[in-house]
Amino acid sequence: MTKSQKKLWIGLFILTLLTPLGVILPEKFKASGSWGEWGPEELEKLLGYVPEGLKRLADLWKAPISDYTFGGENATLAVKVISYIASGILGVLAAGLLIYVISRLIVRNEK
């Protein structure tokens, strides 16, 4: 690894440690989730009903670490903070590894 690459990886690691800001700041400023990403219960509150097709598809996939948080939506802030850092590390490793494998398979030019 070159020196400059090492620096960039350190930068990414620092970024990983800062990811809890992504959960602390919205909580502090009382901001809810993103527009268009409501769960079925929230939609029920917004519309008074849950669209039929949406209901059918919404729970198609149960992600192992839903919303980057261990312990669900009602986890305490401390648990969320730790979950975010762990998810960040896991995500970096998973995304890095996947693209590494893909590019190893297709990129042949050694120079």
Can you give the binding site for another protein, defined by CB under 8 A?
1, 4-5, 8-9, 12, 15-16, 18-19, 21-23, 25-26, 28-37, 39-40, 43, 47, 49, 51-68, 84, 87-88, 90-92, 94-100, 102-104, 106-111
The minimum distance between CB 49 and another protein, in angstroms, equals: 6
CA gap 68, 80 in Å, rounded: 8
The minimum distance between CB 38 and another protein, in angstroms, equals: 8
Phi and psi dihedrals of 76, rounded to 5?
-70, 165
Amino acid at 31: A
The minimum distance between CB 79 and another protein, in angstroms, equals: 16
**Which residues lie below 8 Å from residue 96, measured CB to CB, with a gap of 6+?**
none
